[in-house]
Amino acid sequence: MAIFNIHEAKTHFSKILGRVENGEEIIIARAGKPVAIIESISSKTNERIPGSAKGLIVLKKDFCLPLPDSVINEFEK
């Protein structure tokens, strides 16, 4: 993880983005105080696994029944 002040970041932005693309996190600082982190978007994506929530989601038997009038009235206000 590297730290760049704003002026440095503006001057070397293309090089910083190259480092980010290679998986490095970059901190941008103002007067030495960190204000932002630049990180690769692709490093945050997780592969989806079909069925990974099996058993975690439960639908009640009355899920498909009409809503009570009191609830419908709240939507119509």
Q: The domain containing residue 35 runs over which residues?
A: 1-42
Total domains in the fold of the chain:
1
Residue 37 lies in a domain: yes
Residue 10 lies in a domain: yes
Q: What pLDDT score was predicted for residue 45? A: 65
Residue 24 lies in a domain: yes
Q: Per-residue pLDDT for 77 more than 90?
A: no
Q: Which of 34, 5, 46, 39 is nearest to 19 (CA)?
A: 39
Residues in the chain: 77
Residue 62 lies in a domain: no
CB 19 within 8 A of CB 9: no
Residue 57 lies in a domain: no
Q: Per-residue pLDDT for 13 more than 70?
A: yes
Residue 18 lies in a domain: yes
Cα–Cα dist 77/75, whole Å: 6
What CATH number is attached to the domain comprising 37? 3.40.1620.10
CB 4 within 8 A of CB 27: yes
Q: What region, left, alpha or beta, does residue 11 occupy, with left being phi > 0 and alpha being psi -120 to 50 degrees?
A: alpha
